[in-house]
Structure 1
Amino acid sequence: MRFLDLAATSAAVAATSGRKAKIELLADALRRLDPGEIAAGSAFLAGELRQRQTGVGYASLRDRPPPATEPSLTVAGVDAAVAEISVVAGAGSQARRRELLGALFAAATDEEQRLLIGLFGGELRQGAQAGLLADAIAKAAEVPLTAVRRALLLSGDLKQVAVAALTGGAAALAEIHLRVGTPLTPMLAQAAPDVGAALLATGTPATVDVKLDGIRIQVHRSGDDVAVFTRSLDDITSRMPEVVAAVRKLPLREAVLDGEAMTLDETGRPRPFQETSSRAATRGARAAGRGKAAESAPAPAPLALTPYFFDLLHLDGADLLDEPGRVRWAALADALPAELIVGRTTAETEEEAAAAFAAALAAGQEGVVVKAAEAPYDVGRRGNAWVKVKPRHTLDLVVLAAEWGHGRRRGWLSNLHLGALDPRTGEFVMLGKTFKGLTDELLRWQTERFKQLQIDDNGWAVRVRPVQVVEIAFDGVQTSPRYPGGVALRFARVLRYRDDKPATEADTIDTVRAIGGYPPP
C-alpha cells in the first residue's frame, strides 16, 4: 500500500467529525493493507510507530528537506526506515540518525511529511484512538466488535489484534488469551464523592480495600521468572528488585498479580508519592523530566519498596479474569501471606464503609476502593464495579501549556493550562489554569520537562505535547463561558505530577461536569 494513501486516510479522518464516517475510512484503509503491512499500517492509523523509541526528538523534525514532488514510499518501506533509525547507536549515531531521517523525509510528499511529523512527534491528533480503531478492525475483518475489544484488552497490542482479525478472523482472535509474561490493561475505578455514593454503585455487601498511596503494579511469575509492569504496560522489572524477590518466594508456579508498591517510613506509614514514583519512572522519562544535569549526577540510593496485592488474575494455569471478585480474592488469600495483601474489609452499611474510610486516612493512605464482590475483572474498563473514594476533589489532568513566570518566578514556566480528556474525540478540553501549589523544586522540574515537550513558544507561554499528567486538587466546579467545556475548576492547585499514568487515562470532561452536577457537553 502506498504511504500516500494512508496519509490521505489520516487527513480525511482528522477532517471528519462523525464517528461512523471515521470508522468507514479507517476500515477501508485496513482492508487495503497487504498482510505484511497490517501491523505497521494499523499502528500508523492509530498515530503510533511500532518502534516505541526512535531517538528522534521534536527539534529534529523542524530542520527537514523539502517534500518530494512524486510519491514513492510504501507502508512497509516507511516501517523499515523507522526500524533502521530506531536501532542506530554508538559513535556517530546522531549524524547517522539525522542522515536516515533526512532521506526518509526527502522521499516523502508534503502530505506524507505531515503524517511522519505527527508519528515521530506523537502529535497525530486525528481522533482515531484505540477504541475507534477497534471498531474499524471489526468492520474491516467482519468479526464481532466484542471479540476485537476482548483481544485488545488481553494483549494490550492493537497491532497484534489487527493482524489476527484481518488474517484469521474470529478464530484467531479467540486464540488471544491472557499470557503470563504479557501485561494486560488493568481494571480501573470510577470516582465517587463519598462512601455512600460508592455503595449505591456497587451494591451491598461490598468489599472495601484501602487505596494505597503507591504505584500500580502488575506482576507476572512463571517459575523463577518474574516481571513487573506499570499500569501503562511498561516493563520496570529491573527497578523493582524487592517486588521480584517477594513474589519469587511465594509457593506457586504461575501467577498474575495486580497491586501497588510503595515506600514506607520507619513507622510503616507511606512516604511521599514522588519517592515511590521515581522508582517506577523509565530512564528515558526521568532524563526527559529532570534535564541533562541529572544524568551526570550520582543517583541517590533507592528507598525500599513494599508490594501489596489486591487481585489475582491467573494461578497455576487457570485464568481467573471472568470469576467473581469474591472467588479471585479467596484464591489470593490462599496463595499469598496476609502481609502481602492490601487491607480489606466487608461493608454491609454506609457506617461500616465510613469506618474503613476513616481508618485508611488515619494510616496515611489515599482513601478506599469499594468493590462489587460478584463482578469479574473487567480488563481495561472503568465501571461501577470498583469505585474509589478520596477525602477531597482531585482530578488527573493533562498539561496543555505553561506560561512564563513573573517576579520571583521569572525564567521559570509557572501557570499551567489544564486539560481534561474528551472521550468522544480523544482531544483535550481546557478547563482552567493554576500556579498554586508549585514549590521551587516543582517549578525547576516542570520548566525542564516542558522544554523537552515544547511545540512552540510565543514568548508568553510554551505550548507542549499533551502527555504530562498532573494531579490537581480543587474545591468545586463552576460554569465558565471562557473554556470550551463550559466549566472551570474552583481554587485549583497542584498536588503532584503523575509520571506513572499515561495521558489516555486522564479524567474526562464528562467526569468534571458530573462533579459539578452538569450534564455531558
Structure 2
Amino acid sequence: MRAFADLLERLVYTRSRNAKIKLIADYLIGTPDPDRGWALAALTGELDFRTVKAGLIKSLTEERVDPVLFKMSRSYVGDMAETVSLLWEPRPGAEPAPQDLRLSSVVDRLMALSRAEAPLQMSAYLDAMVPTERFALIKLATGALRIGVSARLAKTALAQAFALDLDAVEEVWHGIDAPYTALFAWGEGTAPQPSHEDIPVFRPFMLAHPLEDARVDLSQYAAEWKWDGVRVQLNHVNGETKLFSRTGDDVTASFPDVADAFQIHGVIDGELLVKGDAQGTADQGGEAASFNALQQRLGRKTVSKKMLTEAPAFVRAYDILFDGAEDLRALPWEERRRRLEAFVPRLPAERFDVSAIVEADDFDHLAKIREGARSAAIEGLMLKRRDSAYIAGRKVGQWYKWKRDPLTADCVIMYAQRGSGRRSSYFSDYTFGCWTEAGELVPVGKAYSGITDEELRFLDKFVRGNTTGRFGPVREVEKTLVLEVAFDSVHSSKRHKSGIAMRFPRIHRIRNDKPAAEADRVRTLEAMID
C-alpha cells in the first residue's frame, strides 16, 4: 500500500508527461502481481467500490473534525482526499498500519464490504494510516483520482515498461479483467499475446487534427459532416454486441436499442445520435437532434421504456473496421467507404445510416457550405484523405476536423467558485448571464476555460474585491464585468431559468470596455437556437 501511496504522491507533484510515464512504468516493473494490476485498474478508472463513495468519507470526517473547519479547508484545498488526509484525527491508541499491508489486500477488503461494514472499516483504515496512505486510500476507494493521469497515459506507461505496442495493448485491454495477470505475463514474455477473436473488444479510433488555416485539395480529400453526438464503435461477434466510446468505455447499457439492432458480425465507427425535429442538411435533415437531447441518456446503466421512446438513438456510420472476420483497416478510405455503403443497408434503417459525403466544386465552395450549416447536430466538417488507412491515433496529413466558427455573446459575470487542482486557490469557475426583456439578469452558462494565467489572476482579484454575497463555496459578485463568451451552439432547456443552454461555452475575452447594461439579451441567444 505504501508503494502505491508513494506513486500517487509523486504523480501529483510531477508535471512532465514523460516523467509521469516513467514513474508508472517503474512501479509496474518493480511491483509484484496482483498489486500492480490493481494499481493499473485504479489509474485507468476500472475500479468501482459500490459501498464507498465521497459522501461516506465526508460524513466520517465531520465526526472527527469540526464541520466548519472541514468545509472551509475543503473549499481552499480544492481536493477532498488531500483535505481529509491532512485533517483526519485518529482515535487515541490506534495501531499503525503494518508496513507490509498489500494494495491487493485493501482492494479485496473494499470489494467485500457491505454498506453496514463500510463506515467502520474505512475509519479503521484512516486511523491506521499516515497522510500519504490516507490520500491514496480515498482516491482508490472513491475512484476520483484526478492526479493528471489519463487512462491512455497509464496504458502508454504499461506499453513502454514492457516494450509492447500501445495499439496492441488497447486491442486486448477490454478482454482482460483486472488485475490483468495475462497482460503482465505477455509483457514479461512468459505467455503469448492474449487473443480475443471470439469476443467484442475495443479497437483504437483513428482521430483527426484541427485544420486551422490550411487548405486541402479536394481531389485528394473527401468531405463529410462532423456530427455533434458521441463517437462510438460497434462490435458484434459470436452473438454479442458492444458499444465503446472514443476512450474505450463500454456504453452498451446506455443504448440497448442500438446494441440490439446491430446483429451482423463486424465493427463500424460512427456517431451516436438521437432522433428529433432538428433540421439537418439537405441530404440528411430532420433526423438528428441536438446534443442536449442525447445527454439525458449518457452514463445511464438502465434506460426506461419512456426514455427509449422519447429519445430513440441511432448511429450515423463513418467507417468500417471489420466486415465479418475480415480486417479492413489497412485498406484505403475509398475502398472502406464502398464496403461501409454495402454493409450498413443490411442493418435496420431506423437505427443506422451512413454519413453523407459533402460535394463541393472547390475548397472555397466547401468553406461556404461549412459556414452555412448551422444545424443543431452539425459541428463542422471532416476531411479525410482518400487513400488513408484506418490508423489508430492522430496521424499528420490523414484526417482533419474543420469545425464551424464559434458563436459569441457578451455576458455579465454573476457568480464565481474556486477551481480544483492547480486552480484550487483561485476563483476560476464563472457563471454568467444575459438580460431579459424585463431587465433581469439571468444565468445562461458557466465556463472555466479559455483564459490565460494573467486573465485568471485579474478575474480572481475582481471576484475577491467585488463579492456581494456568499452561498457555500459560491460567491456572488457585483454585476459590472462583461465577458465575451464563445460557444458551439445554443439550445432550448427547461432546466434553466433563462430557457436556454450553451454547448461548450468558454471565455473568449474580458470586455473591460463594455458596460454591463450593454451585454446581450436572452432573446439574442434565443435567435441562435437551431
Tell me, yes or no, if the aligned pair for 2:176 and 2:182 is still in contact at 8 Å. Answer: no
Tell me, yes or no, if the aligned pair for 1:125 and 1:427 is still in contact at 8 Å. Answer: no
Whether 2:207 is the aligned partner of 1:188: answer yes
Go from structure 1 to structure 2 and tell me whether the alpha carbon gap of 1:324 and 1:483 turns closer, same or farther (over 3 Å shift).
Answer: farther
Tell me, yes or no, if the aligned pair for 2:223 and 2:357 is still in contact at 8 Å. Answer: yes
Q: Hey, what's the Cα distance between the residues in 1 that align with 2:223 and 2:453?
A: 36
Q: CA deviation at 1:133?
A: 3.2
Q: CA deviation at 1:115?
A: 0.7
Partner of 2:484: 491
Tell me, yes or no, if the aligned pair for 1:219 and 1:228 is still in contact at 8 Å. Answer: yes
Structure 1 letter corresponding to 2:169 = A
Q: Gaps (5+ residues) in structure 1?
A: 287-294, 396-404, 407-413, 447-469, 498-505, 514-521
Alignment of 1:453-472 (within 5 A): none
Alignment of 1:441-480 (within 5 A): none
Partner of 2:392: 379
Q: CA deviation at 1:342?
A: 0.8
Structure 2 letter corresponding to 1:40 = W
Q: Hey, what's the Cα distance between the residues in 2 that align with 1:377 and 1:484?
A: 44
Partner of 1:262: 274
Q: CA deviation at 1:493?
A: 5.2
Partner of 1:399: none
Q: CA deviation at 1:304?
A: 2.4
- Greater C-alpha radius of gyration: 2
Q: Hey, what's the Cα distance between the residues in 2 that align with 1:9 and 1:265?
A: 51
Tell me, yes or no, if the aligned pair for 1:27 and 1:136 is still in contact at 8 Å. Answer: yes
Whether 2:113 is the aligned partner of 1:76: answer no
Q: CA deviation at 1:345?
A: 3.6
Q: Gaps (5+ residues) in structure 2?
A: 62-88, 280-285, 460-481, 492-502, 510-530
SS of 1:482 mapped into structure 2: helix
Q: Hey, what's the Cα distance between the residues in 2 that align with 1:244 and 1:115?
A: 37
Q: CA deviation at 1:114?
A: 1.3
Q: Hey, what's the Cα distance between the residues in 2 that align with 1:232 and 1:243?
A: 19
Whether 2:122 is the aligned partner of 1:101: answer yes
SS of 1:182 mapped into structure 2: coil
Go from structure 1 to structure 2 and tell me whether the alpha carbon gap of 1:299 and 1:43 turns closer, same or farther (over 3 Å shift).
Answer: closer
| Structure 1 residues 328-349: Cα deviation after superposition (integer angstroms, max 9, x where no partner) | 2221012122971011146673
Go from structure 1 to structure 2 and tell me whether the alpha carbon gap of 1:270 and 1:168 turns closer, same or farther (over 3 Å shift).
Answer: closer
Tell me, yes or no, if the aligned pair for 1:261 and 1:307 is still in contact at 8 Å. Answer: yes
| Farther-moved stretch of structure 1 (306-315 vs 18-27) | 18-27
Q: CA RMSD in A?
A: 4.9
Q: Hey, what's the Cα distance between the residues in 2 that align with 1:277 and 1:225?
A: 26
Q: CA deviation at 1:308?
A: 1.3
Go from structure 1 to structure 2 and tell me whether the alpha carbon gap of 1:225 and 1:356 turns closer, same or farther (over 3 Å shift).
Answer: farther
Partner of 2:335: 327
| Structure 1 residues 276-298: Cα deviation after superposition (integer angstroms, max 9, x where no partner) | 221233259x9xxxxxxxx9xx9
Q: Hey, what's the Cα distance between the residues in 1 that align with 2:247 and 2:160?
A: 27
Structure 2 letter corresponding to 1:118 = K
Whether 2:6 is the aligned partner of 1:8: answer yes
Partner of 1:117: 138
Whether 2:276 is the aligned partner of 1:276: answer no
Q: CA deviation at 1:140?
A: 3.6
Q: Hey, what's the Cα distance between the residues in 2 that align with 1:69 and 1:221?
A: 51
| Structure 1 residues 226-254: Cα deviation after superposition (integer angstroms, max 9, x where no partner) | 33333344444344344235433xxx433
Q: CA deviation at 1:103?
A: 3.9
SS of 2:454 mapped into structure 1: coil
Go from structure 1 to structure 2 and tell me whether the alpha carbon gap of 1:184 and 1:78 turns closer, same or farther (over 3 Å shift).
Answer: farther
| Structure 1 residues 62-84: Cα deviation after superposition (integer angstroms, max 9, x where no partner) | 32572752435202101212222
SS of 2:296 mapped into structure 1: helix
Structure 2 letter corresponding to 1:374 = D
Go from structure 1 to structure 2 and tell me whether the alpha carbon gap of 1:140 and 1:276 turns closer, same or farther (over 3 Å shift).
Answer: closer
| Farther-moved stretch of structure 1 (430-439 vs 298-307) | 430-439
Go from structure 1 to structure 2 and tell me whether the alpha carbon gap of 1:43 and 1:482 turns closer, same or farther (over 3 Å shift).
Answer: same
Whether 2:357 is the aligned partner of 1:344: answer yes
Q: Hey, what's the Cα distance between the residues in 2 that align with 1:281 and 1:150?
A: 27
Q: Hey, what's the Cα distance between the residues in 1 that align with 2:483 and 2:49?
A: 39
Go from structure 1 to structure 2 and tell me whether the alpha carbon gap of 1:231 and 1:173 turns closer, same or farther (over 3 Å shift).
Answer: farther
Please give the TM-score of this superposition, normalised by the length of structure 1: 0.65
SS of 1:492 mapped into structure 2: strand
Structure 2 letter corresponding to 1:307 = V
Go from structure 1 to structure 2 and tell me whether the alpha carbon gap of 1:417 and 1:327 turns closer, same or farther (over 3 Å shift).
Answer: farther
Q: CA deviation at 1:381?
A: 4.1
Q: Hey, what's the Cα distance between the residues in 2 that align with 1:20 and 1:215?
A: 30
Q: Hey, what's the Cα distance between the residues in 1 that align with 2:177 and 2:424?
A: 22
Structure 2 letter corresponding to 1:323 = L
Tell me, yes or no, if the aligned pair for 2:432 and 2:443 is still in contact at 8 Å. Answer: no
Partner of 2:454: 481
Structure 2 letter corresponding to 1:84 = A
Go from structure 1 to structure 2 and tell me whether the alpha carbon gap of 1:54 and 1:238 turns closer, same or farther (over 3 Å shift).
Answer: closer
Go from structure 1 to structure 2 and tell me whether the alpha carbon gap of 1:82 and 1:161 turns closer, same or farther (over 3 Å shift).
Answer: closer
SS of 1:259 mapped into structure 2: strand
Go from structure 1 to structure 2 and tell me whether the alpha carbon gap of 1:262 and 1:173 turns closer, same or farther (over 3 Å shift).
Answer: farther
Partner of 2:67: none
Please give the TM-score of this superposition, normalised by the length of structure 2: 0.64
Q: Hey, what's the Cα distance between the residues in 1 that align with 2:356 and 2:232?
A: 16
Q: CA deviation at 1:485?
A: 13
Q: CA deviation at 1:9?
A: 2.7
Q: CA deviation at 1:435?
A: 1.6
Higher helix share: 1
From 157, 169, 190, the counterpart of 2:187: 169
SS of 2:455 mapped into structure 1: coil
From 381, 394, 403, the counterpart of 1:368: 381
| Farther-moved stretch of structure 1 (155-164 vs 9-18) | 155-164
From 293, 308, 320, the counterpart of 1:312: 320
Aligned residues: 421
Q: Hey, what's the Cα distance between the residues in 2 that align with 1:416 and 1:385?
A: 41
SS of 1:35 mapped into structure 2: coil
Go from structure 1 to structure 2 and tell me whether the alpha carbon gap of 1:478 and 1:332 turns closer, same or farther (over 3 Å shift).
Answer: same
Q: Hey, what's the Cα distance between the residues in 2 that align with 1:168 and 1:81?
A: 28
Tell me, yes or no, if the aligned pair for 1:205 and 1:346 is still in contact at 8 Å. Answer: no
Q: CA deviation at 1:113?
A: 0.9
SS of 1:481 mapped into structure 2: helix
